Structure 1
Amino acid sequence: MEASNWTMTHPSNFILLGIPGLEAEHVWISIPFCSIYILSLLGNGLLLAVIKTEPSLHEPMYLFLCMLALADLVISTTTLPKTLCIFWFRDRAIHTNACLAQIFLIHSLTTMESGFMLAMAFDRYVAVCNPLRHSAILTNRVVAKIGLGVVMRGAVLLGPHPFLLKQLPYCRTHVISHTYCEFMALVKLACADTTVMSAYSLAVSFLAGGLDFILIVLSYILILRAVFSLPSKDARHKSLSTCGSHICVMLVFYTPALFSFLSHRFGHVAPHIHILIANMYVLFPPMMNPIIYGVRTPRIRKRALRVLGIKAS
C-alpha cells in the first residue's frame, strides 16, 4: 500500500498538454515554432563559426556573445524537440527525471544568459568610460573568469530546484498544461505547502535576473552620461552605435521574460496566451540575437557573408 501511494504521489511520468484550447491548431503552430528553431540553430552556429575564425573578433564583447550563443543553442534544444513531438505526434508523456532536467536547464541557462548580458554591459561601460584601459581590464583571463562565474552562479542558484520538486507529492494531477516543464507549473500541481519553495524561487529570480537588469540599467546611465559629455557629435554617435546591438538584445530578452514571470505569479492571463509568451521567451531571443548582431555589426556581417560565399557589396 505504501509503495502504491508513493507511485501515485511521485509519478514516473508527467503529461504535457501543449497549448490547451488550441489543440486543433497545434500542427499550424508548429510551423513557425520549427522555423524559429531552425533559424536559431543556423544563426547561432554561424555566429560561433564567424567569431572563431575571425581573429579580429577575439575581443571581450564577442567572446561574451559566443557564450550567449552557446546558451541560446542549448536552451532552444532543451524545449523545442519535445514541443514539436507534442504538436506532430501527440507524444505528451515525459519522464519525471527528464522533466526535472528540463526545468533545471531552462532556468539555469536563462539565468546565465542574463549574466552574460550584464558582462556585455560591463564591457561596453569600460569601452566607453575608460577606453584606454579596456584591454588591460578585460583580459582573456578575466573574461574566462567572468564567464565561469556566470555559469557557476546559474548552476548553484538553480541546482536545488529539481531536488525540491522531486520531493513534492503530486496527488492532484500529473498533467501539465504547457509545452515544456516549468517550475511554477509543477509547484501548482503539488498537494503540499509550497510557500517556502515559491519564496525561494522568487528570491532567486530577483537575485539573478532582477539584480542583473538593475546593474545593466545603471551601467547604461553611466555610459550615456559619458557619451553626452563628449565634445564631438561624431564621437557621440560612434560610442552610441557600439551599444545599440546590446540594447536591442536586452529588450528582446527581458521583455517577454518579465511578462512571463509576472503573469505566472501575479497576473490573470488566458492560459494559451501565457504559454505562447513563455515559448517566445525561450525561442525568440535565440533567433533574434545573431540576426541583431549580424545586421548591426559590420565585421560580423562581412565575415558571415564570406563564410556563406556571398560577396559583400
Structure 2
Amino acid sequence: MPTGLVALLDDVSVIARAAAASLDDVSAAAAKAGTKAAGVVIDDAAVTPSYVTEFTPDRELPVIARIAKGSLFNKLVILLPAALLLSAFLPWAITPLLMAGGLFLCFEGAEKLLEKLGAEKHGQTLEDQPADAASFENERVSGAVRTDLILSAEIMAIALAEVADQGIIQQALILALVGVVITIAVYGTVGFIVKMDDIGLHLVKRTSATAKAIGGFLLRAMPVLLAVLATVGTAAMLWVGGGIILHGLEVLGISGPAHLAHEAQDWVEHATGALGGVLGWLTYAVLSALVGVALGTIVAFVVHAIGKARGKH
C-alpha cells in the first residue's frame, strides 16, 4: 500500500463502511468522514501550497478555490463514474491505471528535485516575470489539478474496494460523500496555511500584547513553514508515487520489491522500540521515495529528450 496513504486505507475504509451502514443519516456520515480525513490531508496539504506560494496575497485564496473546484470535478465528474464503470466491466484495469498515475507523480517529483539540484528548469515561475499573468496562473492551477487527480484516484479506489458489495447507487453516493468531505478538509486546511501570514499581520496591529506576540510569531514562522512544505510536497509526490508502483507490482504478482520494503519496515519497527511505528513508516516512505526518484528521473529524461527532439522546451 502506498506509504503516504497507509493511514488513509483504514480511514477511508471506516468512512465507507459508516456511510454504507447509515445512508439515511448523511450528516452523521459526513461528520465521521471529516474526522477521518487526516491521512490524505497530510499529503495534499504538503503538495498544494507549492502551487500558490509565488502568488500575491490577493490571488492565493482564488487560486486555491480554483484548485478545489478542479479537485471536486476530478472526483465527482471524472473518477466517480470511471471507478464505477471499471469496477463493473474492467476491474483488472484499475491497478495498471493507478500505477500510470503513480508514475506521473514520480515524474513530477523527480523533476522538481532535479531543478532544486541545479538542473534546467521547465515551466515558468514568477521570478521569470511571465508576460501573461493569467496564463501563468492557469498553468499552475492545471498542474495542481493534475496532481490532485492521481491522489483522488487513490482515495476513490480505496473507498470503492471497501463498498464493492453495495449496489451501484449506494456506491455512487458513498464515493461522492467521501470525495466532497475530503476535498473540503484538504483545501480548507491549505487555505488556512497559506493565509496564516495575513492572520499574523492582522494580529500585530491589535492592541493586545498577546495578540502582537502571536502575530509576530506567525509572520516569522510562515516563510520557514512554506519552505518546509514545498520540500515535503516534493517528497510526498515521490513516496506516494513510488508506493503506488510498489503496491501495484505486488498486486500484479511481482511482490519482490514491496516485500523487501516491508521487511525493512518490520525490522526497523522491532529494533527501535517505542519509536518503531514512526521510524518504520519513515523507512518505507524513504524506500518508496527512492523508487520514485529512480523511475521519475528515467521518465523525465525520456520526456525531455523527446521534447528536445521535437524542438519543444
TM superposition score normalised by structure 2: 0.29
Taking structure 1 as the reference length, the TM-score comes to: 0.29
Find the structure with the greater CA-based Rg.
Answer: 1
